[in-house]
Structure 1
Amino acid sequence: MKKILALSIAAFFASASFATYALESTCDAVKADIAQKIINNGVPESGFELSLIPEAQAEQAEGKIVGSCDNGTQRVIYVRHANVDSAGTATHQASETPKVEDTEHPELQPQPVQ
């Protein structure tokens, strides 16, 4: 009986320490994982920047909070750069009027901003 109790206690502490180790990912690993997900979504590596800042400064930072690390004391901030084409020149996609293919309701087409 004592042997089973001792093994149970040992298993509990081993699983608790493993869970703590798994949760405490390094900030570099978290940042690299987030960067890979962004790249997999079609954003070029030169099209964004990820930075680590302390949690207290996260609300004032420019960009979007996309993750945290060091048990919540650091935040990963995402900033997307201007669109860059293959020639390296910036494009201003936001200023272009989107084209909607709706032949039944042409009056609902977006109008250019003047």
Structure 2
Amino acid sequence: MSKSLLVALLSLSCCAAFAASKPCDELKAEIAARLDEKGVKGYEITAVENDQVGDAKVIGSCDGGTKKLTYVRK
């Protein structure tokens, strides 16, 4: 494995760990702002317990990894 690939993988794992520790409301607001900026309409982002995800698309993890943010088109 090359050094640059290893550095990239370590950077991504670091960022994922940081995002998982964010409060759900903060991460939800950040993601919603990015979607709104891109002109996405008719969606719902919800924070749910890990075992309550169901068929929704998971777009993030928050509250120390105890919850998932799900995305559903309305």
Please report how far the alpha carbon of residue 62 of structure 1 lies from its aligned counterpart in structure 2 after TM superposition. Answer: 3.4
Please report how far the alpha carbon of residue 31 of structure 1 lies from its aligned counterpart in structure 2 after TM superposition. Answer: 0.5
The answer on 1:31 being equivalent to 2:28 is yes
Runs of 4+ in structure 1 deviating by more than 3 angstroms, as ranges, are none
Specify the structure having the higher radius of gyration (Cα).
1
Q: TM-score, structure 2 length as denominator?
A: 0.65
Runs of 5+ unmatched residues, structure 2 = 1-17
Whole-angstrom distance in 2 between the partners of 1:35 and 1:48: 9
Q: TM-score, structure 1 length as denominator?
A: 0.44
Alignment: residue pair count: 57
Please report how far the alpha carbon of residue 23 of structure 1 lies from its aligned counterpart in structure 2 after TM superposition. Answer: 6.3
The answer to which structure has the higher strand fraction is: 2
The answer on 1:75 being equivalent to 2:68 is yes
Give RMSD over aligned pairs. Answer: 2.1
Whole-angstrom distance in 1 between the partners of 2:23 and 2:71: 18
Runs of 5+ unmatched residues, structure 1 = 1-20, 82-114
- Structure 1 counterpart of 2:49, from 43, 51, 54: 54
The answer to which structure has the higher helix fraction is: 2
Whole-angstrom distance in 1 between the partners of 2:51 and 2:31: 21
Task: State the structure with bigger RCO (CA 8 A, min sep 6), 1 or 2.
Answer: 2
The 5 Å alignment of 1:85-100 reads: none
User: How many percent identity over aligned positions?
Assistant: 39
Whichever residue aligns with residue 37 of structure 2, its letter is: N
Please report how far the alpha carbon of residue 22 of structure 1 lies from its aligned counterpart in structure 2 after TM superposition. Answer: 8.3
Whole-angstrom distance in 1 between the partners of 2:69 and 2:57: 8
